[in-house]
C-alpha cells in the first residue's frame, strides 16, 4: 500500500507542471493590482473540500493525494511579481487526511507545496453533519475551514471558510454540492509601506462526486471562488 501511495502521488506531481518561479517582486505593483493578485491567490489557496458531505463515522479514515488546477483571472499581475512567466493555470498538489469523530463531526488536514516555487500552505477543516444521511435521505453538513500560506517572504496570506453542503450516495457514487464564503487576509511584506493589507470575502460554490471501489477512493470536484474556477482530483483510501 505504501508503494502504491508513492506511485499515485508521483503521477499527480507529473500531472501538475513545475512552476519554476517565486513570488518575490511585490514592490513592482500598485495597490489595485495587489488586490486582484490577492483575489486570485485567495481562490487558488483556499480550502477545497474534495470529499462528500457524508460523515466518515468514528472509525473512518480518508487518506489521499490530490491536485487542484485554478484558472487565474489576472495572470499578467502574477507574472510581474514573480521571477519568470506564469501560466494561466496554477496547479497545486496536496496531501490530505480526513478522520471521523463522534457525534457526526469530521476533521481534515491538508498540506500543499508547488514544485519549483516558494508557495506552500497548510489547511484544515471541521465539519458537522446536520443530517448524517441514509438509504433514503441525503447528508447535510456545515464546515469551517482555514489555510495559511508559508514560504513566501513578501506575503502573509490566510483564508477562513464557512460552507454548507449536501450529498447522497448511489451505489459506489456519491455526488455532492455546496455553497459558502471565503474570507481572505493578504498582508504584503518588504514593500516599504507602498502596499497595504487587503481583507475581503469571496463566494464559493462547488460540485463534486466521490467514487468508492472497496478501499480505493476517487474524487472529482469543480468549484468557483470569486471569479476564479478550480478543478480538483483526489486519489485515496477510505476505510
pLDDT in tens, 180-208: 999 999 999 977 678 999 999 999 999 99
Residues 6+ apart with CB under 8 A from 224: 204, 205, 206, 230
The answer to whether 189 touches 155, Cβ cutoff 8 Å, is yes
Percent composition of the chain: helix, strand, coil (DSSP 3-state, to 5): 15, 50, 30
Domain coordinates in residue numbering, the chain = 2-238
Location of C-alpha cell 469523530: 101
At residue 70 the predicted structure's pLDDT band, cuts being 50, 70 and 90, is very high
Q: What is the pLDDT of residue 42?
A: 97
At residue 85 the predicted structure's pLDDT band, cuts being 50, 70 and 90, is confident
What's the average model confidence in pLDDT over 28-46? 96
Q: Give me the phi and psi of 34, to 5 degrees please.
A: -65, -35
Q: What is the pLDDT of residue 93?
A: 95
Please tell me the number of Cα atoms within 13 Å of 9 on its side-chain side.
16
At the top level of CATH, which class does the domain 2-238 belong to?
Answer: mainly beta
| Burial label, 81 (beta-carbon count in 10 A; 0-12, 13-18, 19+) | buried
Q: What is the pLDDT of residue 214?
A: 83
Q: Which residue has the higher pLDDT, 158 or 114?
A: 158
Amino acid at each position: 500500500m505504501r508503494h502504491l501511495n508513492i506511485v499515485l502521488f508521483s503521477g499527480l506531481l507529473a500531472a501538475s507542471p513545475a512552476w519554476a518561479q517565486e513570488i518575490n517582486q511585490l514592490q513592482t505593483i500598485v495597490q489595485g493590482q495587489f488586490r486582484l493578485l490577492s483575489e486570485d491567490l485567495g481562490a487558488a489557496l483556499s480550502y477545497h473540500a474534495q470529499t462528500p458531505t457524508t460523515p466518515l463515522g468514528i472509525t473512518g479514515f480518508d487518506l489521499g493525494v490530490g491536485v487542484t488546477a485554478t484558472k487565474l483571472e489576472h495572470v499578467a499581475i502574477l507574472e510581474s511579481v514573480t521571477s519568470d512567466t506564469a501560466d494561466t493555470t496554477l496547479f497545486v498538489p496536496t496531501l490530505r487526511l480526513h478522520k471521523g469523530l463522534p457525534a457526526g463531526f469530521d476533521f481534515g488536514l491538508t498540506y500543499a507545496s508547488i514544485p519549483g516555487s516558494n508557495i506552500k500552505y497548510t489547511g484544515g477543516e471541521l465539519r458537522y453533519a446536520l443530517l448524517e444521511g441514509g438509504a433514503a435521505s441525503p447528508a447535510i453538513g456545515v464546515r469551517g475551514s482555514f489555510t495559511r500560506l508559508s514560504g513566501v517572504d513578501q506575503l502573509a496570506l490566510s483564508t477562513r471558510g464557512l460552507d454548507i453542503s449536501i450529498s447522497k450516495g448511489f451505489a459506489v457514487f456519491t455526488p455532492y454540492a455546496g455553497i459558502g464564503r471565503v474570507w481572505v487576509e493578504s498582508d504584503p511584506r518588504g514593500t516599504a509601506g507602498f502596499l497595504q493589507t487587503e481583507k475581503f470575502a469571496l463566494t464559493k460554490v462547488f460540485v463534486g462526486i466521490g467514487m468508492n471501489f472497496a478501499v480505493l477512493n476517487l474524487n472529482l470536484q469543480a468549484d468557483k471562488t470569486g471569479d476564479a474556477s478550480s478543478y480538483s482530483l483526489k486519489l485515496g483510501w477510505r476505510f
